[in-house]
Amino acid sequence: MSESVLAARLPQMLADLETLVTRESPSSDVAAVAHSADVVAQLGAERLGSKPEYVVVDGCTHLRWRLGDGPRRVLVLAHHDTVWPLGSLATHPFTIEDGVLRGPGCFDMKAGLVMALHAISTLPSATVTLLVTGDEELGSPSSRELIETEAAGCSAALVLEASADAGALKLERKGVSVYEVRITGRAAHAGLEPELGINASVEAAHQVLAVSNLGDAELGTTVTPTVLTSGTTRNTVPAAAAFFVDARAWTVEEQLRVDEAMHALLPVLPGNSLDIIGGPNRPPLERKMSEELYARASRLAADLALPALRSVAVGGGSDGNFTAGIGTPTLDGLGAVGGGAHADDEHVVVAELAPRTALLAALLTDLMDRP
């Protein structure tokens, strides 16, 4: 599919993107996500010529198009939820000025969703699955099984998450693990008889330091204590404390090492008890799962006379971690070029929408012709 064909579609793509961006869809609001799903379903039906299947899991609305009559060899993966709360349009309105499009969720990742709809719509007999989930920004708690089921047996999963800097594709993503360390001590009056208490705050301090030492800078493994809570009043020995931990690693081996170490933590102060909750949330997206697809995309970019592709490794996770984790070759970061995800400066470079969509259409065609 030539870039000129997609360039002619650019006004429609921008109109579609405005439709999606102006329907706010914060992940934590299942009603807003459901309303957004209706808008995506209607727009997708117009572009693809068929209605999606609604898949509601734990109250969260996901959409699935299974297109074509033959075996579906490719999974195209997107999400329509965002981190932006309802009312964000009042302070961050949809605008297009000087070739830059802005609005909550435009870059992460409603532009990628529009690109997917238009790329697939240009293919006369696409045998693909388009899955649009509604809880990616929460870690995909209700959609993970759905994603893995749809990816199983596919020759490729193409993830329309936004690109990295200057349009780079994401060939590696760290695996993500999430923990909560709960500490139980014993309360006592801090002035009258503190010796009768078992101080959960002091235990938490020991555990925070222990957890911080589980990382490995040489291997790129990070283990970061984050939110910490403890105690009830100023003059009471804390009977309980808790803190969350964000752990990230490039390899499954490192992810499992950290998991074993987290669950092996022991109390330092006599009388305290620990409860370690959580574990790996997303497996790593390792480079070996992306290299062949990246080589294909690079060749196709050259055929389309597009600039040479670039690749990066990133610490953030996506649903591409799940598809790679079950053994499906995965290429991530195929979405919009821009920046400012989750931030006030979130934006999309308009001039890159058509060429990126042309590349996606060419990659889909190539994968269906030569799986």
Catalytic residue among 3, 16, 18, 81: 81
Q: Is 218 part of the annotated catalytic residue set?
A: no
* Token representation of residue 315: 């610490």
- 331 closest CA partner among 283, 288, 281: 288
With H, G, I as helix, E, B as strand and everything else as coil, classify residue 183: strand
Q: Are 67 and 129 in contact (CB under 8 A)?
A: yes
Alpha helices in the chain (DSSP H): 3-8, 10-21, 30-48, 111-121, 144-151, 200-212, 252-263, 291-303, 320-325, 353-369
List residues bridging with 183 in a β-sheet: 241, 274
- 150 closest CA partner among 172, 173, 128: 128
Contacts of 153 (CB under 8 A, 6+ apart): none
Catalytic residue among 16, 18, 24, 136: 136
Q: Reading across the β-sheet that carries 175-184, which strands appear in turn? A: 222-230, 240-249, 175-184, 273-282
Q: Are 21 and 102 in contact (CB under 8 A)?
A: no
Q: Is 136 part of the annotated catalytic residue set?
A: yes
DSSP annotation string for 5-48: HHHHTHHHHHHHHHHHHTS--BTT-HHHHHHHHHHHHHHHHHHH
Rounded Cα distance between 107 and 349, Å, is 9
The interaxial angle of helices 30-48 and 10-21, nearest 10 deg, is: 160
Residue for token digits 């102060």? 269
- Indicate the helix (H) or strand (E) that contains 142: none
CB 227: neighbour CB atoms within 10 A?
Answer: 10
Rounded Cα distance between 365 and 156, Å, is 12
DSSP annotation string for 126-139: --EEEEEES-GGGT
| Catalytic site positions | 81, 136
